[in-house]
Structure 1
């Protein structure tokens, strides 16, 4: 047991959070990356199982890449050594074997929730949703499957750093899967009617909703008894983070091609047209073109410009030998970036190790691969967004790979924005969503005696 951390090594806010889970059969913790939500939850599980005897068997549902993190965390801490974890991943045969193992905590990836429920051996009295925002869609199969067995669960915990990535409309499903509709209502239609009005629409089709006057405060009030939030900057010594927008300007000829696509939804070529069948398809094509290349109808890549590649070269040169991480979205972005600056793609545990060891000067990573549980802060402090994403969750999670506890340098996050293109709208949307989510997080912020509340006051 030598070298293991003990319960006394937990931060005060971690002790507080674990106790919150213990005292609340339904709990939602909105915790920033790096605050240690895994050990917090395992500490609560240990107390509920072995001190209070309230639960016998629990299930953790999390992203696939994070399944192993839960098991690894147990090995670090002395006070949770009694917990026996079984990771339920792999082929169906491997999953069935893992379920049959004697354990206290079973960890499964979210894609297999439907399979687990259908498997017919549901006997978990506590469920932990590691990434509550994975259940923001009431139409998703995983949501419907978990909803069926939710009445059989005595205790449930939702963990996330992004409680409302697309606005407050997401909260109905997330809170509903926790409390079975007690706070925000049992039906999405009733929730929308009560708190929202149509925003963007086309005749009878409503694409988005905006909160009615006073709705935000009302929603916060309804959920505040089961939710607490914490921001890393309030509880950890976080490095400074600088956000920078680097404007790139396409030539008149290049902009003409972009505008034609925007107007006609079609660019004719002899060997394969570039076309978009609907608004979503057009958005996708325009974002590709802003990056400098686009797929045609045959899957071939059509080159548009090199403005962002030139900007990356300048930024890498300006880094003066310091490692740089580049976030890309499309495969043709990856190919062009690698060809231009010789970047190495981070895709395996070995790649991540090399990056953190300082052996990779320029790396590229996809936001979907840079999700939960990945620590890259040892390898560098500069991130360049080559192409943006509409997803606030993926955006924040990727940034948090470098901007987290243990980072020794000031973190600089560059965004390459093609002027007068969809890039500007995506950037504005991310900033707006972030502001909206911050209001929610502030509304349910944990108040811990003797600790600063983030505004210089002691509470």
Structure 2
């Protein structure tokens, strides 16, 4: 296929060419992969500035998406790709193949750095979903940090740079500029721009929030190497309708829910459901809101079928149109499969079946379909059976259907149990989106040609 870039795509490719460190905060559907690959092609065979490119991505994206993009566009057809995936032996063999681009899943970055030790060969690195490096304590970040000084060019691609607030941005920007803009240490960044809301265990600071003037300062610091664009401004996106479907638990079911919330313990005849801390309690309450919960032995305790019934109504209302159902827990999946004839999206074959219209009801976990997968050809209805706290997963999962190439109005249903943690999760997603939008707005690229 001939590549005829939109003006924003040409602008973004030029931005990469003109910046050795570039953060592209582009929403889903704007064509991040072809933008980056076009820059790679030019840097390899026009500018002769680089010789070996590493792409770090989620596993399935590393396995298929980048290769598919190369096959799709005529100007990229001569780029050679080697997938550094599989067993250690298979990964090592892939590294010895002659190629222009090597793709690897992010979990194997520490292995790759150790494999080469002091002989790091990649002069350009592209991080597909830069936000997956948001934790400064993660092994993948620490490993890549060791070799950052050996990388001549680096590009970070993401649509959600600050999924949980601006504390997340430090490690991502560090990988781009080596600490030049936001400092070389996370603790220093935190102390300069944030302050703790409270202290625990005799004076340990926690719950950091931004200082009054910090947000603008952070945006100003990174704006020269980061650009952002929103899909709605640059693409003819399909209409998207968000719908909340509320279900109400019975008085008995709510009493069980409140008992666990109050006592951190819910006794049954043969076992208990207990929550050792607030994080565990949150997880257990989400389970109960969805209809079942794991006990101390990992067995499932059934609480209610309200969401299953609501799901049945939504499927019936779809009138035979395919629906994509996101679940949070294995018992959610199992209960849905028990009630309905469903398929699951786990493999490339499953994706092909969905996109060819051979799955009427598709089940998947948002973490497994969150990044880089194109599912818009298979349907236009999403149902969130249970919600996620992660703004990043939420937005990326929705963007599997609501993206460029979707020819129908996308409807996204959220099944919410009233007076439960579901309502707080929905509010949290909305609150995080405010912070996310602020970052995107602050580094937004203004180019002509927006639709």
**Partner SS for 2:103:** strand
Give the Å deviation of 1:413. 0.6
Superposition map of 1:6-405 within 5 A: 6=3, 9-67=4-62, 68-120=64-116, 121-199=119-197, 202-203=200-201, 204-405=203-404
Aligned partners of 2:314, 2:32: CA distance in 1, in Å? Answer: 35
The aligned counterpart of 1:446 is 445
Report if the CA contact (8 A) 2:57-2:106 is conserved.
Answer: yes
CA deviations over 1:262-296 (Å, ceiling 9, x no partner): 11111112322111111111111110000000000
The answer to whether the 8 Å contact 2:65/2:373 transfers is no
Shift of 1:186: 0.9
Residue aligned with 1:73, SS: helix
Runs of 4+ in 1 over 4 A off after TM superposition: none
TM-score of the aligned structures, taking structure 2 as reference length = 0.96
Alpha-carbon deviation of 1:440? 0.7
Confirm or deny: 8 A CA contact 2:6 2:449 kept in the other structure. Answer: no
Aligned to 2:2: 5
- Deviation of residue 446 (structure 1)? 1.0
Q: What displacement does 1:47 show?
A: 1.1
2:292–2:302 Cα contact (<8 Å) kept: yes
Q: Give RMSD over aligned pairs.
A: 1.3
Alpha-carbon separation, structure 2, partners of 1:93 and 1:81: 28
The alpha carbon displacement at 1:52 in A equals 1.2
Write the distance in 2 (CA, Å) between the matches of 1:361 and 1:200.
50
Deviation (angstroms), 1:451 = 2.7
TM-score (norm 1): 0.95
Q: Provide structure 1 residue ranges, at least 5 long, that are not aligned to the other structure.
A: 455-459
Question: What displacement does 1:205 show?
Answer: 4.0
Q: Distance in 1 between matches of 2:171 and 2:218?
A: 13
Q: Distance in 2 between matches of 1:81 and 1:320?
A: 42
How far is 1:208 from its partner? 2.5
Query: Distance in 2 between the 1:112 and 1:195 partners?
Result: 32
The alpha carbon displacement at 1:343 in A equals 2.3
State which drifts further: 266-275 or 36-45.
Answer: 266-275
1:201 Cα offset (Å): 5.1
TM-superposed CA distance for 1:342, in Å, is: 2.3
Q: Give the 3-state SS of the residue equivalent to 1:417 in structure 2.
A: strand
Give per-residue Cα distances to partners, 1:22-64, cap 9 Å, x unaligned.
Answer: 0000100001111111111111011112111211111111111
Distance 2:205 2:323 in 1: 42
Structure 2 unaligned runs (5+)?
Answer: none
Aligned equivalents of 1:132, 1:422: Cα separation in 2? 30
The 1:145–1:95 alpha-carbon spacing in structure 2 relative to 1, beyond 3 Å, is same
For residues 143 and 150 of structure 1, the distance between their equivalents in structure 2, rounded to whole angstroms, comes to 10
Q: Deviations over 1:202-245 (max 9, x none)?
A: 45344432211121111100000000001111111111101111
Secondary structure of the 1:414 match is strand
Deviations 1:295-326 (A, max 9, x none): 00111100111111111111112222222111
Q: Distance in 2 between matches of 1:411 and 1:180?
A: 41
Who is 1:426 aligned against?
Answer: 425
Corresponding residue pairs, total: 447
